[in-house]
Amino acid sequence: MNKEVKNKLIQIVLSAISFIIAVIIERNMNLPMWENLLVFLVPYLIAGYDVLKEAVESILEGEFLGEDFLMTIATVGALAIGFLPNTESQFAEAVFVMLFFKIGELFEEIAEEKSEKAISELMNIRPDYANIEKNGKLKKVKPESIEVGDIIVVKPGERIPLDGIIKDGKSSLNTVALTGESIPRDVNEGDTANSGCINLSSLIKIKVTKIFEESTASKIIDLVENAAENKSQSEKFITKFSKYYTPVVVVTALVLAFIPPIILGNFSIWLTRALTFLVVSCPCALVISVPLTFFGGIGCASKKGILIKGANYIEKLSKVKTVVFDKTGTLTEGVFEVTAVHPEIYDENKLLHLAAHVERYSTHPIALSLKEAYEHEDDDCSVSEIKEYSGNGIKAKVNEDIVYVGNSKMMNEIGIKWKKCKHSGTIVHVAINDEYLGHIVISDRIKEEATETVREIRKNKIGTIMLTGDQENVAKAVAEKIGIDKYYSELLPQDKVSKLEEVISTNKEYTAFVGDGINDAPVLARSDIGIGMGGIGSDAAIEAANVVIMDDKVSKICKAIEISRRTLMIAKENIVFAIGIKILVLILASLGLATMWMAVFADVGVTVIAVINAMRTLYK
């Protein structure tokens, strides 16, 4: 419980005790009205001194339509109305309105505190210092002063201050603040270490690869802090609604107070109705609960390792009707391995030998799997004149021969007759000079949770599509195994953007794209809502995506959609409930059928209920 909540609680308790004493005095001592007023002013001022202060300040600033001003006018009017002829005092009602208003503020404070706690782990990932080794001694310095290439030392229990690569030592890292996962991640020399993680077991030395401003922790903190700026349509509606609603009800209250008495008389009766009307009119239930609902949704998602960059993306995500997946690294592990070798002339080893040499300098996952399959790639063969055919393959001179390694399109381009393969996987054809040597089958492992995730998405009546640069047979095999509705294969990076635009224009509904955030950045940016997978260490995911899954668990897409839908549903419940009750009691107040107690419920009571309802977004 923070200091502000404690102060409000003390204020409410003291006001409530003095209010009970005032009611007892009024009922048992038969004091003159002005003395009763003095008795009730004690609990009134204890509960409302800060409201009165805010009201005066708003008047001085030229803002007459704030909730503090409206509450002050209504309660001061209720205190004064008993001195009019033929009227009963409303001292108790005035104090109760102010007291209940403070109770509403208390609930608001508690709800905001809980929402802030939901993302406090993310806010706490900002490091206070970094240990840098100089002249054999450790020195604590500000993380902002560390440069790329510096070696920092992280002791057990300390938070990693900057992104880097482990140069010495091995340990376990607590990544819960980034990924939402409680299981520690084991790291060794050569592994990446991201800022914000906590070193659990052993001292490690890290070579810094990013300055503080570009580190994972800094980017995440910036995203969370700025999430409130991206308002949803519901929040924009409430802002616009309040802009017109409040002036209208204030003018209506003034008309109600002064026009009917001129015609019908009984000024005190109409003034009472106008004051009741004012109490009801405060739009705080909407202004407080709806933004709080979306903030709670963002906090709930962040606890589970899902970063949603703003309330507008919660709204879009809740209305998604099609999810488009990248394949490699999203639905599959992105871990390629040679599963079959089919030579035509040479033996299997010779075929792998030539393929590995040609792919020697490539960092593509398929090239890495070929080099891993051939263990003796560092022999005395000379490799030169390397030329890459984008999306199709590589040509190189190995000793005195020209060797081609690539897909069927490349074979067609160079006029080599190739053979089909019945195996499922990526087929890499190999040719030397003008002769076809055979092909190698490379397969990617499907993620364990991919099939269940796609099934869950389809269960929610959301269509699924897969885009991949792989060949038709590979794409078909993966799509059928996972249960994808449609797939498009053999796409170059620019083709993925075109195909996504085609899907968006055809569906005319919200479309989400899920990718690994590196080579898929253009597609993530083009989609209605981009979901970046494997956010740890991926700048492209954090920058291009609207939603970032802070680990590579595709199953969290379902959780993100579920949280978004629930958040939007709760926001709509609050809007309908608050507006419905207010309109009903405003009509009753104008007809003289609403008491001040009903007005209190329509304002503060509805606010408390809406705030409690909004807090449900934190727990899912």
d(CA 165, CA 168): 9
Q: How many CB atoms lie within 10 A of CB 593?
A: 12
Q: Which helix (H) or strand (E) holds 81?
A: helix 67-81
Annotated catalytic, 347? Answer: no
286 token code pair: 């909407």
Q: What is the DSSP letter of 158?
A: P
Note whether 325 and 514 are within 8 A (CB): yes
d(CA 145, CA 141): 7
> For residue 454, which amino acid is it?
V
500 token code pair: 């996504």
222 token code pair: 């910036």
Note whether 568 and 315 are within 8 A (CB): yes
The catalytically annotated residue of 68, 150, 163, 326 is: 326
| 579 CB burial (10 A radius; 0-12, 13-18, 19+) | middle
d(CA 264, CA 283): 30
Q: Phi/psi at 524 (nearest 5 deg)? A: -60, -45
d(CA 600, CA 5): 22
Q: How many CB atoms lie within 10 A of CB 569?
A: 14
CA distances 506 to 322, 460, 487, Å, are 11, 20, 15
H helical segments located in 374-449: 408-413
539 token code pair: 């700048």
Q: Which helix (H) or strand (E) holds 507?
A: helix 493-507
Closest by CA position to 560, among listed 545, 574, 572:
545
CA angle (380 as vertex; 378, 384 as ends), nearest 5? 90
| 44 CB burial (10 A radius; 0-12, 13-18, 19+) | buried
Q: Which helix (H) or strand (E) holds 308?
A: strand 306-308
H helical segments located in 265-361: 267-281, 284-303, 311-318, 348-358
Residues annotated as catalytic are: 326
